[in-house]
Amino acid sequence: MFQRLINVFKGFFAMFVKDVEKRNPEALLELEQENLRKQIAGYNQGLAGHAGLAERLMSQVRKLASEESELRAKTTAHLRAGNTQAAGQYALRLQTVTRELTENRKQLEAAEGTYKDLIKARDVAVNAARAKIESLKGAINDMKMKKAMAEMNEMAAGMIGSIGGSGDTLNRLHDMVEEERNKASGRARVAKDSIDMADINLKEAEMTALADQALADFAAAEGLSLGTEATPAEASRSMGATAEKPSESQQG
How many structural domains is the chain composed of?
2
Looking at the predicted structure, is the pLDDT value of residue 103 above 90? yes
Residue 65 is predicted with a pLDDT of 92
Q: Could you tell me the residue range of the domain that residue 132 belongs to?
A: 2-146
Q: What is the pLDDT of residues 167-220, one digit of tens each?
A: 566 677 777 888 888 888 877 777 666 666 677 777 888 888 888 888 888 888
Residue type, position 222, single letter: E
Residue 222 is predicted with a pLDDT of 78
User: Phi and psi (nearest 5°) for 231?
Assistant: -80, 165
pTM score: 0.46
The span from the CA of 38 to the CA of 43, in Å, is 8
What percent of the chain stands above pLDDT 90? 11
Q: Torsion angle, CA of 57/60/61/64, rounded to 10 degrees?
A: -160
Q: What is the pLDDT of residues 23-58, one digit of tens each?
A: 666 777 777 778 888 888 888 888 888 888 888 989
Kindly state whether residue 212 falls inside one of the protein's structural domains: yes
Q: Domain check: are 17 and 140 in the same one?
A: yes
Of the residues 146, 177, 212, the one at which a domain ends:
146
Kindly state whether residue 234 falls inside one of the protein's structural domains: yes
87 within 8 A of 72, measured Cβ to Cβ? no
Kindly state whether residue 98 falls inside one of the protein's structural domains: yes
Q: Domain check: are 210 and 118 in the same one?
A: no
Confidence band for 230, pLDDT divided at 50, 70 and 90: very low
Residue 115 is predicted with a pLDDT of 87
Q: Domain check: are 120 and 35 in the same one?
A: yes
Kindly state whether residue 72 falls inside one of the protein's structural domains: yes
Of the residues 112, 146, 180, the one at which a domain ends:
146
Helix ranges restricted to H, 194-231? 197-222
Helix (H, G, I), strand (E, B) or coil at 163: coil
Q: Domain check: are 71 and 138 in the same one?
A: yes
Kindly state whether residue 10 falls inside one of the protein's structural domains: yes
What percent of the chain stands above pLDDT 70? 69
Kindly state whether residue 164 falls inside one of the protein's structural domains: no
Q: Domain check: are 100 and 211 in the same one?
A: no
The span from the CA of 226 to the CA of 189, in Å, is 42
Average pLDDT over the chain reads: 75
The span from the CA of 50 to the CA of 114, in Å, is 9
CB burial readout 176-211, b (16+ within 10 A) else e? eeeeeeeeeeeeeeeeeeeeeeeeeeeeeeeeeeee
Kindly state whether residue 68 falls inside one of the protein's structural domains: yes
Of the residues 146, 175, 205, the one at which a domain ends:
146
Kindly state whether residue 152 falls inside one of the protein's structural domains: no
Instruction: Identify the CATH number of the domain in which residue 73 sits.
Output: 1.10.287
Residue count of the chain, please give it: 252
Q: What is the pLDDT of residues 231-244, one digit of tens each?
A: 444 444 444 444 44
Farthest CA pair distance, the chain? 198
